[in-house]
Amino acid sequence: MPDGDEFDSLASGPVPGIDEASADGLAPADAATTLRAELEKTKAELEEQRNLYLRALADFENYKKRAVREHLALSERGRREILKRLLDIMDSMERAAAFREAGTPPDQLVDGVLATMKQLEALLRTEGVRPLEVAGKEFDPKVSEAVGTRQTEGTPANIVVDEARKGYALGDEVLRPAQVIVSTTPE
């Protein structure tokens, strides 16, 4: 049976890994102090990085809000500009109504309305809006909406034979599809 002093730490020599000096020559108490200092330094760096992250996150949120505000303001400015130009066309229509009440001959009224229509077409052109040319072409559901069919002699099937409502594009995008009558072959 082992001697009772064998397990008595006070009676024995230094305990390996605990009572010995560390590899860097520091006593265990000095090593613990160094580790605590490094831990505190690392915690401080972590807190600094966290604060920088939170500041960057807040800056990004503010940027997003500012970008939305600026986008809305720009959109509103553009809307106001187009509406001001439409008011000129409205003025022309009001003049036509006043001329009608004054007894202006119908052919002169029609001429005035056609001139107003040219004003509107010019406004649309300056905004990049152009009419879609679909009459006489093969029906394309990407730019046209078929609202009816018509049997036609001498015209192949699936050709646009008439426009019920003109279609328009803004750049390469369809703003409003044309409503068309499409040919069918007699049965």
Q: Which of 25-34, 75-84, 113-122, 141-150 has the lowest mean pLDDT?
A: 25-34
CB 146 within 8 A of CB 161: no
Residue 182 has a pLDDT of: 97
Is pTM beyond 0.95? Reply is no
Under DSSP, is residue 165 helix (H, G, I), strand (E, B) or coil?
strand
The domain limits of the chain are 19-127, 129-187
Q: Are strands 168-170 and 144-151 parallel, antiparallel or unpaired?
A: unpaired
CATH 2.30.22.10 fits 129-187, yes or no: yes
DSSP assignment of 57-107 equals: HHHHHHHHHHHHHHHHHHHHHHHHHHHHHHHHHHHHHHHHHHHHHTT--HH
Under DSSP, is residue 183 helix (H, G, I), strand (E, B) or coil?
strand
Residue 58 has a pLDDT of: 97
Answer yes or no: same fold for 19-127 and 129-187.
no
Closest CA to 187 of 148, 161, 146, 157: 157
Under DSSP, is residue 25 helix (H, G, I), strand (E, B) or coil?
coil
Residue 29 has a pLDDT of: 76
Q: For the domain with range 19-127, which CATH number is right: 3.90.20, 3.10.560, 3.30.230, 3.40.50?
A: 3.90.20
CA distance 28 to 163: 94
CB 118 within 8 A of CB 92: no
